[in-house]
Structure 1
Amino acid sequence: MSGDSAGRDGGRAFIGSFTSAGGLGVIAAAVDARTGALTVVGATDDVADPSYLALSPDGTVLYAVSETDEGAVAAFRTPDTGAVGHTPPRLLADLVPVRGSGPTHLTVADGHLLTANYGSGSVSVLPVAAGGRPGPVTGVLQHQGSGPDPDRQRGPHTHQVVAAPGGRWILSTDLGADIVRICSLDTTAGELVPYGETALRPGNGPRHLAFHPAGGHVYVLGELEPVLTVCRWDPENGVLEPVGRTSVLPGVPRGASYPSEVAVAPDGRFLWVANRGHDSIAVLALDPMYEKPELLTTVPCGGRWPRDLVLDPTGRRLYVANERSGDVTWFDLDPATGVPTRAGALRAPAASCVVFG
């Protein structure tokens, strides 16, 4: 199947990578609907270290962090689906500083772009203008706190910022302070308004979280210990309550692996975790109450240092960005067991993120 046909039949994917480690920047790929295979159709290195990407709600603009000490975001015009085989994403305007260092994650929420700035331990708010261009920062929420790990937790390190389903609340994970912060977004002032915070076990180092599709639970993944913290989520009152912890690795000692990403099946029966160091994908089954994940097995991630893991739009395949081996590997998922089976891989040096749209 040609790249053009794959783009028409299976949509498109975008891959972020670290240019400082030999990555191509932002890669556009066509997706084969039948096999899930990715075919590179273009790339741009206009932005340094675009390690995390997010699409606008209508899919016409692709946003990227520039994970540098200065910290910035970029906006790209995505090619038309029919033209994906001909042009890479096109930079819309100059990069916009985020007034924070080392941004590692971003999301679009209610007409604003939010970035989690790992280096400075903050979250920045940038309004999105007509046409999708991000404007100057209107608000910076500085996290506070520290944790027991002397190397990784001397101060706050915000790693992810997400909008809860329904858009009322904004959650951010702080690896350095062992907390998840809950805020609301003041769209008039362009600022985050702190509402509450949930403390996790000291030394957990929360990196990323994922919501259960039923809406009442959140799974918070630790980076400094291979543990998933299960939380009840009250969307009406914005309350996150830890109710349990589950290991995402079988007997692996602390410090031997660094979990990076968690994804939940659309039907809510399984979840998957990428484990760097152990270089595996953990498969966990969810009980009917969604509060006691069971580790079923782990399978090789297809490479080394899986930084990102994402389901395709159908929920039938899993894609893993293996940063140190420089590839994106895709897996077919067994609908009965949730176990992934390797189906193919694409060479992508220093790959760090995959998004579909």
Structure 2
Amino acid sequence: MKTLLFCMLGLGLTACGSSPKNAHSNQDELAMLVGTYTNGSSKGIYTFRFNQETGTAVPLSSAALPNPSYLVPSENGKFVYAVSEMNNSTAALSSFSFDKETGELRLLNTVPTLGADPCYVATNGREVLTANYSGGTMSVFPLQKDGTLAPADTLFQGEATGPDTIRQATPHIHCTVFSPDRKYIFATDFSADRILRFVVHPNNPIPQTSPEAVDIEADSGPRHLTFSPDGKFAYLITELSGKVIAFSYNDGRLKQIQTITADTVAARGSADIHLSPDGKYLYASNRLKEDGIAIFAVNPENGTLAKVGYQPTGIHPRNFNITPNGKYLLAACRDSNVIQVYKRNEVTGLLEDTHQDIVVDMPVCIQFGNYSARTKDTKN
């Protein structure tokens, strides 16, 4: 039974229940941001108060933005950077100020990405990166002190050398992430079956212009990359081959140590990947057939994976996230128009549907801001 719904009158937004803030400490509560596609009834970005002890959410506010399919808060939670995933010259990156208590977002500025269909955002507090899927590029935006974005300084172009004549016919960059040591940027070059590595210069916001590459198996379609909490390992989900590739990581070097299958039905639609906060379990989502999340136990000594389960989900789990305390996994199921809330068994890694669904039209990105009561730093 759904316990949380948007109460809609036109574009109005109303909480359909009492806030968990009345019964639980502020440390249990997270500011939650949800990005959507807006070709249905969605307005853009929606904000919530999510209680990571009870798994309940209360809607707070919204901001109109076309196709904010991916967004990321700044480290201190004061700003939010969101793409507009448009397949033309209106493709853009926007900066918002963010009030974590009220959930209110206020647009600061918008700059073009210069590459179509931006689908991923990352920031290190000095610059913001976008992966422009159809443009096949990575854009770099210097950050101003007030949280606004300077125009893109640089575009880095991917290649199209993969064997899939439809999915890899043109260059696609799918994600851009900073390494745990903040010295490098890694970008997944989807259509060339490789991961690009750029060097971050301490005194220059523009990374090295001649990236090194880590080649992976042809017809893989590298999509999203994540690092272990201790920074010793990295894990890649490949969209086309549906595999998770494990790497050891040391000072910019990724060394492949294992490949294991997440998509066992060859759906060619694997999507997102995350580790639990304690690093003991890894989760990878699959779409197009047998939608769900593959669950792997992580060997803490060598970083290798062992599959321990599979959790069916709603339709098209394009993105998911795990609460900072590790208690809940939230899956954004785009074509079911719902965010499903799963309780994690922290011993086995398995998931249990709490049926505390959050109904949103075409949700495709979930991010958590810092605890409201703990955000006191001034870094972007």
Q: TM-score band, normalised by the shorter chain?
A: over 0.9
CA positional deviation for 1:243: 2.1
Measured against aligned partners, the alpha-carbon deviations of 1:298-350 in whole angstroms (never above 9, x if no partner) come to 1112x110010111111221111101111111111101100011112100111
| AA aligned opposite 1:285 | A
Determine whether 1:281 maps to 2:293. yes
Q: Percent identity?
A: 27
Task: Indicate the SS of the match to 2:146.
Answer: helix
Please tell me whether the aligned partners of residues 327 and 344 of structure 2 are also in contact (alpha carbons under 8 angstroms).
yes
- Counterparts of 1:48 and 1:217, CA distance in 2: 36
Determine whether 1:241 maps to 2:260. no
Quote the residue 2:378 is aligned against.
none
Per the normalisation by structure 2, the TM-score is 0.87
Measured against aligned partners, the alpha-carbon deviations of 1:54-74 in whole angstroms (never above 9, x if no partner) come to 011110001101101222101
Measured against aligned partners, the alpha-carbon deviations of 1:145-177 in whole angstroms (never above 9, x if no partner) come to 320011111132000000010210100111111
Give unpaired runs (5+ residues) of structure 1.
none
- Counterparts of 1:178 and 1:232, CA distance in 2: 19
Determine whether 1:78 maps to 2:98. yes
Quote the residue 1:292 is aligned against.
304
CA positional deviation for 1:257: 4.6
Please tell me whether the aligned partners of residues 14 and 29 of structure 1 are also in contact (alpha carbons under 8 angstroms).
yes
Among 342, 346, 355, the residue aligned to 1:331: 342
| AA aligned opposite 1:258 | G
| AA aligned opposite 2:86 | T
- Counterparts of 1:321 and 1:294, CA distance in 2: 25
Q: How many residue pairs align between the two structures?
A: 345
Please tell me whether the aligned partners of residues 147 and 155 of structure 1 are also in contact (alpha carbons under 8 angstroms).
no
CA positional deviation for 1:187: 5.9
Say if 1:2 and 1:31 are closer, same or farther in 2 by CA, change over 3 A: same
RMSD over aligned CA atoms reads 1.7
Runs of 4+ in 1 over 6 A off after TM superposition: none
Task: Indicate the SS of the match to 1:268.
Answer: coil
- Counterparts of 1:117 and 1:150, CA distance in 2: 20
Per the normalisation by structure 1, the TM-score is 0.92
Higher RCO, 1 vs 2 (CA within 8 Å, ≥6 residues apart): 2
Determine whether 1:341 maps to 2:355. no
Quote the residue 2:80 is aligned against.
62
- Counterparts of 1:40 and 1:267, CA distance in 2: 28
Determine whether 1:317 maps to 2:328. yes
Quote the residue 2:124 is aligned against.
109
Please tell me whether the aligned partners of residues 67 and 104 of structure 1 are also in contact (alpha carbons under 8 angstroms).
yes
Q: How does 1:211-290 map to 2 (within 5 A)?
A: 211-235=227-251, 238-249=252-263, 251-252=264-265, 254=266, 256-277=267-288, 278-290=290-302
Measured against aligned partners, the alpha-carbon deviations of 1:206-257 in whole angstroms (never above 9, x if no partner) come to 000111122221111000111101112112xx111222210113x41x2x25
- Counterparts of 2:183 and 2:53, CA distance in 1: 37
Please tell me whether the aligned partners of residues 72 and 367 of structure 2 are also in contact (alpha carbons under 8 angstroms).
yes
Say if 1:147 and 1:41 are closer, same or farther in 2 by CA, change over 3 A: same
| AA aligned opposite 1:332 | K
Task: Indicate the SS of the match to 1:21.
Answer: coil
CA positional deviation for 1:189: 4.8
Quote the residue 1:352 is aligned against.
364
CA positional deviation for 1:39: 1.6
